[in-house]
């Protein structure tokens, strides 16, 4: 999946940013006894910007992977733990 952001100021269309999503995952589970809800998501992406002077795409963020995990106690409705991590 790719996203492109264009600058259309003055009817001159040229690219600004490109975001490419290499992987996108989401999983959720409920524990066997039904008292905990667990969710996990992960995205791996590359972001480039268009260098107008050089006329080419240059990397802005290379191969970033961001993960988020959540654990919630369903019975208590009070405790929720969220952890976010990023790695190259």
Q: What is the pLDDT of residues 42-88, one digit of tens each?
A: 999 999 999 888 888 999 988 889 999 988 887 776 678 888 888 87
Q: What is the pLDDT of residue 80?
A: 80
Residue 4 CA to residue 15 CA, distance in Å, equals 7
- Whether 5 has a pLDDT exceeding 80, the answer reads yes
Residue 61 CA to residue 77 CA, distance in Å, equals 38
- 10 or 82: which leads in pLDDT: 82
Residue 79 CA to residue 7 CA, distance in Å, equals 45
Distances in whole angstroms, Cα of residue 46 to Cα of each of 17, 28, 84: 11, 25, 18
- 77 or 18: which leads in pLDDT: 18
Q: What is the pLDDT of residue 73?
A: 83
- Whether 40 has a pLDDT exceeding 90, the answer reads yes
């Amino acid at each position: 999946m790719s996203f492109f952001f264009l600058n259309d100021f003055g009817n001159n269309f040229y690219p600004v940013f490109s975001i490419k999503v290499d992987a996108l995952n989401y999983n959720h589970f409920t524990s066997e006894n039904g008292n905990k809800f667990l969710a996990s998501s992960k995205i791996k992406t590359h972001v480039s910007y268009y260098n107008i002077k050089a006329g080419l795409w240059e990397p802005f963020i290379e191969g970033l992977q961001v993960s988020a995990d959540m654990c919630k106690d369903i019975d208590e409705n009070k405790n929720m733990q969220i952890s976010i991590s990023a790695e190259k």
